[in-house]
């Protein structure tokens, strides 16, 4: 019987963070974006060992733009869902930390309670933007360092990832900030929106802590194969919104066909069958567990 849904609760932050730190000793860890429980389960079944909850994907799933409109409750609720469903280490995009240093500490505590392995915060000011858009406004390096220090102080086990968007100013500024954030306690560094292979190589050469690379589509960073990221020496490679983009387009196309044709027969080949869905979500495992716990007995 599948126990994924129980493992997500039993393992908790201790094992998730420990497993994630162990993975950081490797290179080129492919990390699937999972915006809800079912995508987390499907990613695990495909063989992924780490998941990423993107603020952009979560916002879009709520029909909201990625402008810092998410609340800590929104993110913690969805993070708990993905952890519960998958039992895998989860990196959570916490935008700017939902406020200043004390708010970051609150976010760390809440996300640790949800079983999250890694918290990612960035050095933008609200309203923050997707890292691959223009006109981003940056907090000072000192302000971001205070957030990193606060996160490390609040964390029992959770890994702190610091993202900088300063490459939009200059690569020198981004590297200077990345080094400062690492010195403040960040265990994983994310230099967003690198536009050339030379810049990607230079970041690896000058930063001596684990690095996260963002393979988002339709952005400023060229699409680079995972094998090349591994050869370049990057530890974590995220595909943050890819699955959401695929699923959203499939839903859009299905609705258009249903509206035009008034029947679903022609779309059956696109669908997961009832049997496949039940097997994926452990429907019969739940039934069997319920029966084993509360079996009917006769007097």
* pLDDT one-digit tens code per residue, 181-208: 999 999 999 999 999 999 999 999 999 9
Residues 233 and 267 occupy one common structural domain = no
For the domain that residue 183 is a member of, what is the CATH number? Answer: 3.20.20.60
Task: Judge whether 114 and 147 are in contact, CB under 8 Å.
Answer: no
DSSP SS3 for 215: coil
Number of structural domains the chain divides into: 2
Domain boundary among 227, 243, 259: 243
Cβ contact 124:165 at 8 Å = yes
Same domain, 177 and 192: yes
Q: Retrieve residue 82's tokens.
A: 């993905």
- Confidence check: pLDDT of 10 > 60: no
Judge whether residue 13 has pLDDT over 90: no
pTM of the model: 0.91
The last residue of a domain, from among 226, 243, 260: 243
- pLDDT, position 4: 53
With respect to residue 64, please indicate whether it lies within any of the assigned structural domains.
Answer: yes
Q: Of 130-144, 239-253, 263-277, where does mean pLDDT reach its minimum? A: 130-144
- Residue 46, pLDDT > 90, answer yes
User: Distance between CA 130 and CA 133 in Å, rounded?
Assistant: 6
Q: What percent of the chain has pLDDT over 90?
A: 84
Is the pLDDT assigned to residue 9 strictly greater than 80? no
Rounded distance, CA 273 to CA 20, Å? 34
Closest CA to 123 of 180, 76, 54, 69: 180
Instruction: Tell me which residue of 171, 182, 259 sits closest to 220, measured CA to CA.
Output: 171
Q: Is residue 23 located within the same domain as residue 165?
A: yes
298 part of a folded domain: no
pLDDT of residue 257: 96
Residue 117 covered by a domain: yes
Residue 6 in this model has a pLDDT that exceeds 80? no
Average pLDDT over residues 258-262: 96
If asked whether residues 286 and 183 sit together in one domain, one would say: no
Q: 164 and 49 in one domain?
A: yes
The answer on 152 and 65 residing in a single domain is yes
pLDDT at 11 over 50: no
**Domain contains 115:** yes
Percentages helix, strand, coil for the chain (3-state, rounded to 5) are 55, 15, 35
* pLDDT at position 165: 95
Q: Is 196 helix (H, G, I), strand (E, B) or coil?
A: coil
The predicted structure's pLDDT at residue 286 = 84
Examine the fold and report which residue of 206, 222, 243 is the final residue of a domain before the chain moves on.
243
- Residues 41, 68: one domain? yes
In a domain, 41, yes or no: yes
Same domain? For 67 and 186 the reply is yes
Residue 106, pLDDT score: 98
**Any domain includes 299:** no
Of 85, 96, 10, 84, give the one whose Cα is nearest residue 42. 85
Asked whether residue 14 falls in the same domain as residue 81, the answer is yes
Place of tokens 């500024």: 173
pLDDT for res 292: 78
What the block records as the tokens of 297 is: 């007995």
Same domain, 96 and 201: yes
**Is there a domain that residue 62 lies in?**
yes
Together in a domain, 254 and 153: no
pLDDT in tens, 287-298: 888 777 765 555
Residue 144's pLDDT is 98
* CA distance linking residue 158 with residue 234, whole number of Å: 20
The pLDDT assigned to 287 comes to 81
Task: List the domain range (segments joined by +) for residue 263.
Answer: 249-293
CA distance 128 to 93: 12
Residue 25 and residue 111 in one domain = yes
For residue 91, is it within any domain? yes
Helix (H, G, I), strand (E, B) or coil at 96: coil
**pLDDT, position 78:** 98
CA 12 to CA 19: how far, in whole Å? 11
């Amino acid at each position: 019987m599948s126990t994924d849904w129980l493992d997500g609760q039993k393992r908790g932050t201790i094992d998730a963070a420990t497993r994630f730190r162990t993975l950081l000793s490797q290179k080129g860890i492919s990390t699937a974006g999972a915006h809800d429980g079912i995508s987390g389960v499907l990613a695990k079944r495909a063989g992924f060992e780490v998941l990423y909850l993107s603020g952009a994907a979560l916002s879009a799933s709520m029909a909201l733009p990625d402008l810092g409109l998410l609340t800590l409750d929104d993110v913690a609720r969805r993070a708990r869902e993905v952890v519960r469903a998958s039992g895998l280490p989860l990196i959570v995009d916490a935008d700017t930390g939902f406020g200043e240093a004390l708010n970051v500490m609150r976010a760390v505590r809440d996300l640790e309670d949800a079983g999250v392995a890694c918290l990612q915060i960035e050095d933008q000011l609200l309203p923050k933007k997707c890292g691959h858009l223009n006109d981003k406004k940056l907090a000072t390096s000192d302000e971001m360092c205070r957030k990193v220090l606060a996160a490390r102080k609040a964390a029992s086990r959770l890994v702190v990832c610091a993202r900088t968007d300063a490459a939009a100013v200059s690569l020198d500024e981004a590297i200077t900030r990345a080094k400062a954030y690492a010195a403040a306690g960040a265990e994983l560094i994310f230099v967003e929106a690198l536009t050339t292979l030379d810049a990607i190589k230079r970041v690896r050469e000058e930063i001596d802590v684990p690095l996260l690379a963002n393979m988002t589509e339709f952005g400023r960073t060229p699409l680079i194969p995972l094998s090349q990221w591994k050869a370049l020496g990057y530890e974590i490679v995220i595909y943050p919104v890819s699955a959401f983009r695929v699923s959203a387009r499939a839903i859009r196309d299905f609705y258009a066909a249903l509206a035009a044709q008034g029947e679903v027969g022609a779309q059956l080949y696109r669908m997961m069958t009832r049997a496949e869905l039940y097997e994926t979500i452990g429907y019969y495992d739940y039934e069997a567990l319920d029966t084993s716990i509360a079996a009917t007995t006769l007097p």
